[in-house]
Amino acid sequence: MRIALAGDVMLGRLVDERLRREAPDYPWGDVLPLLAQADLRIANLECVLADDGPPWPRKTFHFRSDPANVAVLEAAGIDVVTLANNHVLDHGAGALGQMLAVLDAHGIARTGAGPDAAAASAPAVVDVGGTAVGVVAATDNERRWAAGPDAPGIAWLPIDLQDPRAQEFLALVRRTRARTGFLVAAVHWGPNWGDDVPEEHRVFAHALVEAGADVVVGHSPHVFRGVELHRGRPVLYSAGDFVDDYAVHPVERNDQSFLFHLDVEGARPRTLRLHPTVVEDCRVVRAGREARAIAARMAERSAALGTASRWIDGERCLEIPVG
Q: What is the pLDDT of residues 44-55, one digit of tens each?
A: 999 999 999 999
In a 3-state reduction of DSSP, which class is residue 287? coil
pLDDT tens-digit readout, 117-175: 999 999 999 999 999 999 999 999 999 999 999 999 999 999 999 999 999 999 999 99
Q: What is the pLDDT of residue 53?
A: 95
Q: What is the mean pLDDT of residues 268-288?
A: 98
* Nearest in space to 136 (alpha carbons), one of 86, 187, 94: 187
Expressed in angstroms, the distance from the first to the final Cα of the chain is: 15
State the sign of the Cα–Cα–Cα–Cα dihedral 228, 320, 193, 137: negative
Q: What is the pLDDT of residue 196?
A: 94
| Number of domains, the chain | 1
Q: What is the pLDDT of residue 70?
A: 98
Q: What is the pLDDT of residue 292?
A: 98
233-252 exposure pattern, b = at least 16 Cβ within 10 A, e = fewer: bbbbbbbbbbbbbbeeeeee
Q: What is the pLDDT of residue 32?
A: 98
pTM: 0.98
pLDDT tens-digit readout, 80-105: 999 999 999 999 999 999 999 999 99
Average pLDDT value for the chain: 97
Which CA distances in Å does 259 have to 5, 189, 227?
6, 19, 13
pLDDT at 323 exceeding the cut of 90: no
pLDDT at 57 exceeding the cut of 90: yes
pLDDT at 183 exceeding the cut of 90: yes
Q: In this structure, what are the phi and psi dihedrals at residue 146, rounded to the nearest 5 degrees?
A: -55, 130
Strands 131-139 and 124-128: antiparallel
- Residues of the domain holding 32: 2-321
Q: State the virtual CA torsion across 62, 217, 155, 158 in degrees, nearest 10.
A: -100
How far apart are the C-alpha atoms of 302 and 49, rounded to whole Å? 35
- CATH number of the structural domain spanning residue 279: 3.60.21.10
Q: What is the pLDDT of residue 13?
A: 97
Q: What is the pLDDT of residue 286?
A: 98
Q: What is the pLDDT of residue 23?
A: 98
Q: What is the mean pLDDT of residues 253-277?
A: 97
Strand partners, 234: 229
Which CA distances in Å does 269 have to 13, 124, 296?
37, 19, 23
